[in-house]
Every structure is written in C-alpha cells, then in structure tokens.
Chain A
Amino acid sequence: MISKENVNNETPTSTGVVAVKVDDLTVAYNYKPVLWDIDLEIPEGVLMAIVGPNGAGKSTLIKSILGILKPIAGSVSIYNKPYQKQRQLVAYVPQKGSVDWDFPTTALDVVLMGTYGSLGWIKRPGQKEKKEALEALEKVGMLPFKNRQISQLSGGQQQRIFLARALVQNASIYFMDEPFQGVDATTEIAIINILKELRKAGKTVVVVHHDLQTVPEYFDWVTFLNVKKIATGPVKDIFNDDNLTKTYGINYKVSIQE
C-alpha cells in the first residue's frame, strides 16, 4: 500500500526563475504533427508531471527538449541559454524499455555512464567517478547489487539503476520518461522520495506520468499535453475535471479523495 505519510505534499518551492523555456516547438513524424506549437515555461524548483493520453507526444516533448529528436520548428533554452550550451545542467532518465537489458555489463558500470558526460571524449572514469557512482547506488538502495549483471535485476531495480545514473550527473534539471512504469509500490515510494529530495535541493524535475490518481499526491506542477499544450501550472490550481476532459477527450471525473 502507498501510505500517505511517506509522500506528504509540500508547497512549491519555486524561486520565480525559469529553468526551462520552450518556444513554438513543433515536431512531426513524416507529415503527422506529434507536437504542435508548444510554448512551455518550467519554473525552477518544481516537481512537474506531464500527463496526456497515449500518443499525446509526452515522450516526444522530452526527447525534443533534449535534442534526441529534431523538431521542425522551435527552440529550447535552459536558464536563458540555448540547450546545447547547457547540457551539463540536464540529466535524462529514458524509458526502461528503450535499452537491451541483456547487454553484457554490471549495475555499477551503467551508473558510471552518468559520469561520461563530464569526462568528455576518450578520458576513462577513475576513482573519483567510481566513488560518485557508488554513492548514487547507495542513494537508490542498490549498493548490494553493484556487481550484478543487469539482466538479473528486477524491473524495479533496473529503474533504480537508471535513476542512479542520472543522479551521478549531478544536474540541475532532471527529465524522466515514465519512471514508475512497471515498478512495485515499494520502488514507487523509493523513487518519489528521491524526486522530492531533489526538489528540496532546489532541482527541477520533469516526469512523464501516467497514473492520474497520484498526480496531486506526488507533484506540485503539472502540464496537460495532447499534441498541443492544454494547460500548465500548479497542481492545486489547474488539476481539475475541466482540463482533464480537454486533454483526454472524454468526460473525465477525478475521483481524488481529499
């Protein structure tokens, strides 16, 4: 059971600074637009959910912000500078299913990959990087599994490894693509607690999220997306039936217990 005590909701710690600014972002696969003219400002220090139906372009939005996909139009700035110049401020947790977990490597090795960006070309990770990776493993409770071949980890454990890899980057902004997908309740609580810790440390966290029930409980900021941006703002102000209906196209009633 997910207990309320573990995940008490705090008020947004936003400082008024804009961490991520997306302007006129349009993405299309062939001729079909996946994202249409998105303008988005993500304030510093929020824990934000991106919600929307399947095919709404949630993952695409994150991937275009991170430069993995090339948009047709639009620009992305991180703390008022183009993303390309600010990469080291941004960490990414891809969907767990996007990689081959039978790859011959260990949990520690995957987490070490988080240090590759700051190392740059050719230079290999040393003692310092290894120490950072072990600390990240400790944080996600995976230290006992550091030498485990990654295929022998459970889905939840693999997700924690991905999270640890992003933590090692010591970024200011974290983008996570469905980190709660296919994990059990224990892992879900462990992950959300880490995300809240990140927010407490002044970091900005953006999460593609599917479970509408937990949005008010986990997040303080939310963006509704369905090809176009429907709404964005504090959960307490805009997480309502009206926006849900606009986003999901059906008469959606939030049955959130107060």
Chain B
Amino acid sequence: MDVTEYIKLVFTDYTLRTITLGTAILGAVTGMLGSFAVLRKQSLLGDAISHAALPGIAIAFLLTGAKNSNILLLGALISGLIGTFWIRGIVKKTHLKSDTALGLILSLFFGFGMLLLTFIQKQPNANQAGLDKYLFGQAATLLESDVWMMAIVTGICLSVLLLFWKEFKILLFDADYTKTLGFHTKFIDILITSFIVLAIVLGLQTVGVVLMSAMLLAPAAAARQWTNSLSMMVLLAAIFGAFSGVFGTAISASQNNLSTGPVIVIVASVFVLVSFIFSPTRGLLFKQIRFIKNRRDLQLHKTLAFMYNIVESHENISHPHAIKILNNFQGYTKSTLQKLVRKNYVTIDGNMWSFTEEGFKAATNLYNQQINNNE
C-alpha cells in the first residue's frame, strides 16, 4: 500500500481512521504537556514515569485476569503516580539529586514490572498473550473506545490548561516568587505533574513504555526552536505532536505495517532535527550564516577604520594613498579592498587608493559609532 492509497483509506477504512485519530490526539496532548516538562527541566521525568507504569499494568492484569485496556491503564496511572511521588520524596528528603532519583525509580519500577511480566507469561492463563505490547506499543490495537478516552482526557487537559494558564506560567518561571504572591504552589505543581502522568499513561498502548518519553520531549524541543512565547510553544508542540502521530501512522501502514510507535517517534525526531537546523533565530544554519556575515563585515569595518585614520590627516578626502601602507595592517587583504571598491567606497588607480565621498562618510560614521560604544 502506498501513501496515496493510505490517504484514501483513512477516509474509508474504519480501523485505520481510528488509529490515525488516536495517534494524532495522543501526539497533540503529549506535545502540549511536554512543553511544561521541558521548561521545568524535568525532561527525564517522563521517561521515569512511563517505565514506572509497567508494574501497574502487570498488577492490574494479575488482579483482574482480563486485558481490558482501561483497567490496565488505570493500574499504569496509579503506579506512575506512585513512582512520581517517590521521586519527589527522594529529592526532598535526601541529599540525592533529581537525576539519581529518576534513575533509581526508573530502573526499580521497570525491573519489577519486567519480573511480573515474565511471571505472568509462565501462568496457564491464555489471556496473557500480548501483554508485552505495552513495552513498545501497538497502535493497531487501538479501539474506538480508546480514542474516545484519549479525546476526553485531552479535552479536560486543555480546559485545565486554559483555566490555570497564568498560574502554570508563573510557576514554571519562578516558583519561589509565585509562593510569595500567595498561590498554593504545591497544588499547581501536583496539577501539572498529574496531567503529565495522565498523558504518558494514555500513550502506553500506542507507543509503549520504552519510547513514550520521546513523545513528550521531541515536539516540545522542536517547538521551542521556533518561538519565544510560551503559548505559541505549547500550540506548536501540540501541532508537531499531532503531525508526528499522523505521519508516523501513515508511514507504518504504507510500509508493510512497520511498528507504529517507533515510526511515530522517528518522525517526531525529524521535526526536532529540522527545527534545530532551520529555525531562523535559534537554528544552527542561520546562526552559522550570521556568524560568517558578521565576521566579514567586521573585516571590512576594520580596514575602513584603518583607512579613515590615514585619510583624516589630509584636507582632501580623496587624496590618493599607496596600497602598500595597508599591508602593514593585518586586516587588509586584496579581496577586502575589492569589496570596498564594489561598494563604491574606494577607487583604485594603479597601486594607489583613495576614498570616495560615500566611503569617507561610511568610515566617519563607523568611527563615531566605535567611540560612542567605548564610552
């Protein structure tokens, strides 16, 4: 199946439509909330939470013996929250830094989850097959009811975000100050963190425990490159996330059913890569171009300033001088001189140069500017 066929199928095929819609909503909500995680420098928290959710899934299955995805995700939510609050507790009560706490909880919970999974696989219960799909996710198992669930959670998320926008923003920027204004910072903090956990748990079925944090971080990191406004960043991250979901599903469906989760994550990473290189203000490409241009300008300015010093002592600004004297000055090269000629700042006659009216004016301005800057 190629891409055009896929696009046709999205509108006709029920399953494909469900999956596409599901991954798009998932991408949007994780991108949105991921912006907050990235700005709080809690990028790794997502990774720890998603890994911490695994034992919850296993325990929920052991208790109910059924593979109802809502119940399994409830289990994931609970153990994800427990993991998160343990991390907070460790950071608060011990001298350990948060990266250590995150690493500890991540491996502890994930290890325990894997242990439970292998235990379950040894059980005679025939139902257990396919529980390991939560490791890497399987978008194909998304049902309409799952997508509804995602849509509802996203809706709640969005309304809370809009309602408490001001509080979220100030807490992200300056938590101590927020406290002095009389806001209950712990409440805002728990609200944000809980929604991040919720978004991660929603994505476990589709993208899986191992790759879920990429869904949280990649769209947000990409969005940060394009804007200096928080609202724009959140919006862009949602859009990037949604498109990653849609493109990822399209590619995976049209290429022999490649595993959807990893493809979505790779698409999201492409967004990041493109943003890192091509963003007009923060991108590497334009930064490099600006750097080279500045260096060239500076070279011209240096030569011009040097010439000005020579010319200044003469009554007639167009009085010719030997090119040779410029050689003593290390900033001078033939190409610099040619550039000045092209700009009509300097005329060359044999091995003598002289300023034009325009060139003298430019050099004077430059000189005054430098003096003003030094003051």
Contacts and interface: CB of A to CB of B under 8 A. Distances in A.
Contacts of B350: none
A122 interface: yes
Contact of B180 (A90, A99, A103, A110): A90
A149 interface: yes
B170 A116 contact: yes
A94 B177 contact: yes
Given A103-B172, A104-B229, A105-B230, A117 B181 contact: yes
A121 interface: yes
Main secondary structure of the interface of B (DSSP, over half): helix
A67 interface: yes
A63 interface: yes
A210 interface: no
A124 B172 CA distance: 17
Given A104-B227, A105-B230, A149-B228, A67 B174 contact: no
Interface in A210-244: none
Given A67-B180, A110-B173, A116-B170, A122 B233 contact: no
Contacts of B169: 105, 113
B176 A94 contact: yes
Contacts of B178: 116
Interface stretch (B45-53, B160-168, B208-216, B292-300): B160-168
B39 interface: yes
Q: On chain B, which size bracket covers the interface? A: 20 to 34
Contact of A99 (B173, B182, B228): B173
B180 A66 contact: yes
Nearest to A90: B180
A199 B224 CA distance: 42
Contact of B177 (A105, A113, A122): A113
A84 to B, nearest CB: 8
Interface in A104-119: 104-106, 110, 113, 116-117, 119
Given A104-B228, A105-B228, A105-B229, A68 B173 contact: no
A68 B228 contact: no
B180 A105 contact: no
B174 A68 contact: no
A87 interface: yes
A113 B170 contact: yes
The bracket for how many chain A residues form the interface is 20 to 34
Interface string B247-262: 0000000000000000
A98 interface: yes
Interface in B223-241: 224, 227-230, 232-233
A149 B292 CA distance: 24
Question: Max chain A CB contacts within 10 Å: which of B39, B163, B164, B170?
Answer: B170
Given A63-B176, A106-B228, A122 B182 contact: no
A87 B180 contact: yes
A130 to B, nearest CB: 14
Contacts of A116: 166-167, 170, 178, 181, 183
A122 B173 contact: no
B172 to A, nearest CB: 7
Contact of B166 (A88, A98, A99, A124): A124
B179 interface: yes
B332 to A, nearest CB: 34
Contacts of B170: 113, 116
Contacts of A106: 228-229
Interface centre among B41, B177, B182, by most A CB within 10 Å?
B177
A92 interface: yes
Interface of A: 63, 66-68, 87-88, 90-92, 94, 98-100, 103-106, 110, 113, 116-117, 119, 121-125, 149, 165
6 contacts: A87-B181, A87-B182, A94-B174, A94-B177, A104-B230, A149-B228
